[in-house]
Amino acid sequence: MFVDGCFWHGCPEHHTQPITNREWWEWKVQRNRDRDANTNELLTRHGWTVIRVWEHEDPAEAADRIELLVRRPD
């Protein structure tokens, strides 16, 4: 399970670009997203269930969603 930070992982709801060094930050966040996608693919390929939640998500709601994913039949 991964808890992704809104700033570092480009949350579609809360991510904001810094004013200074904008191009570098766009590159950095995109690189993080690409790495996340590669990690998801690698883990899934090896039989893992990948669960990602955003840092802003309500903990109880995130826990309910995680429980549903973990308990679902294969």
pLDDT digits (tens, 9 = 90+) for 24-74: 999 999 999 999 999 999 999 999 999 999 999 999 999 999 999 888 876
- Give CA–CA dist 67/59, Å, rounded: 12
Task: Identify the pLDDT of residue 72.
Answer: 82
Q: Based on the number of CB atoms within 10 Å of its own CB, is 36 exposed (0-12), middle (13-18) or buried (19 or more)?
A: middle
CATH 3.40.50.1440 for the 2-71 domain, yes or no: no
Task: Identify the pLDDT of residue 39.
Answer: 99
